[in-house]
Structure 1
């Protein structure tokens, strides 16, 4: 679990940025979020307050305009302009909320009270109805007609200052700022506390990851939070536990040449598989005339040809759920029903052997002497011993036994691109194959002659499965163009 890591790589990267602690980033994020929320709520509150206050001011203004109108009715009825002027001037002087008053008499004369410019929209008013309304112009102008009974006397317009609203708005803003400051303060404190707690957990994960990178998993981390950080810590602990288990298993079977075949046989504590007897089907393919071919061809040509056909055979064997156990010079040895159970391992091995022979025929590669590259295939079903074979770093979980020797001998007695087996391999097993007798042959290492047969597949379903495997292998392993010219006929 040793990992090489250069700390300077990150700092020298074009994408590197200054490190900002998580608690500061969270604090800034929450502060900005709270600030935006407070600003939005303040604007909403001010707008609602302004609407309510405007309605209140409107009602007050209407009441005051009504009072002024009722006050000047009598002097206007008697056409007493002095009394009217005195009353309106007194109202402007004594009421700071009233900035200007405009009065138009029925005869057309106008009077103006207060400082400033009177908007034309007000000075052009000539009203006859006593309804009080707000004039759509700059400032808070309210206007109405002055009548006595049904007699029109003139037009009255009053402008209010709005000072009270501005004072109220200022007080409201100050109050909202105090509330916002309190919210920001408590949010910042809460965020810092939460970020500090989360930061401690993340820093512990970082330190633990650094230990793992150095090859020291260390003790499991405590899961203190019931949230995503807690889930991450728990998963990190589980990852470390699984890494330790795999490390123990690798220490146990890392010395095997092919650990992938034995990994499933080890338990969590790294205890390996025990030796056992097992029925399997062995398939051996041996090149015909390899010795003369190796003498007349270049070394690179010999290696490429052998590897090319081994690649074809590997595709075929894998297609029928077998696996290549070993390569022995110019021969390949495959096994079925190991390391995993296969109920019909004999049938699968036969199909694979016939497909391997047909791959050689279909490829039709010729050697420099003009002879075709061909293989003899031998098959035998029997019992083998499965165990740890070898010594030191070359230990292998593989098979040994007489079954392998018989399959190897059978691969040397048949003709080119034929599958040869013992008849007894098919005894007691239902099979769909045709067994053509080859007679009783004496095999090396066997005391008595054994009845050998050539195995042929005739059924339509069998042929279909073989054809599919052959076509797939030929497609996946194309013929190198330079191997097509090994044979050059002499003129």
Structure 2
């Protein structure tokens, strides 16, 4: 019974649009959260970058004066305004350099014969100047070798001196009249850099560090002891792990937290690290600098996430408030959506069932109070009824002609199929000793056995793209590549034949009857089309290859084989199959002989007996 009143879909849509206004709060909430999160991320990135820039500037303030001094003294020597042999004048210049830059530890001038004049900051008196021969000093020898080939000032590898600790050094060669005449060098204590970090204060930064060659700690607030962390001449800088800063250790070990807080594309130099037992993750910002030579130095700062707790609380509040409104809107939308969408869902589900299910099993759509949906349900039910009629016609029709031909007839709305010449493979099958087998069966049992048998052999044929053309008693004709396209039709026919023999060797039929079947396969050009007259038409195939396939099936009986194929078929086979050549045999009704092959029986069954045993 149809409902007396239906609603227009316009009214339903009007109600839905009202709910969409409520749901828009979700979009605004998401936008607000995204904006707040982006602002927080940008704030962290900006302030961390500022701290890094401040650290780099202080690093330059510490180290650039040392470079400026060696370049100045080297130029005085190169311009002959100062001579290495004038020790008194040279001593005054070196001591003046130490006075001008008090954070420099030492300044020295070394000649090619390794005679050195060294001024030390720890002793600003005249005794602070040392004359020595550094020929046996490996650090000086290495610096001399590098200075000979360098015209620019360069930063050397950090060195450890037992009396003062680890030193950073800068070297500048000087040449007199174009000839190498020695180098000037100055050193800065690593502890000076670390002391700067220990005394530094920042609004957000928890720690600052400088890495050398990515795995050695060059400066850190903990490295104020010049002899700490097991440093020596062989190990002038401690490993990062030795310093005992778990955040930097995790950074060096690439133990980053997987999070979308800072995407690598937007914030390539920001990483998030989560340490066991800590309530908040750490955010690390870093920058690689190359102005102090190779390997590169990495300047980094890290921030405890707790510093942004207020911003997190704001994000949480906005999210909860927006989520509450959003949930209310979703509840209302779900209630109305279920009332409206159920008929539409049924319509869609029924439409999907049509593609995969027999129309006979599809239930008709129920009437709807929404006018347009009710009209659609009624039209859909009429369509289902038509599909059921068409499915019944197709199913019935397909029992008397090949399924592919039945489909073409229904699509083209004509039974007449134009003749088509195709290179195809033909298979004939026949039950061995069927006449003797039927003597002990009733007619009903005979039909039962045949139906059971044909069901078993048809499955592998159709699974490999074959089409059953006709049944003749216990015999059957199948084709591959006609009427439907099947490029590897010879392979498909052989695979189907092997599978048929395997199935027959493994089971019985009807009331426990074992069956063997003979198969003949041939390939060639055949014609398929509609034949008959008046109201009695049928689809069949014709051609000499069809007759040869039938003759090959019969020849199995004389040769004691199960499956025979022609040379025309064998030449098109690409799958691995073992054959035995039976010879060039004469075919009844043919003037020329045909080269015949049999498929070796061990491929058909592990326990197959000869085909002629009970024929």
Q: Structure 1 length as normaliser, TM-score?
A: 0.41
Larger Rg: 1
Greater relative contact order structure (CA < 8 Å, 6+ sep):
1
| Greater helix fraction, Structure 1 or Structure 2 | 1
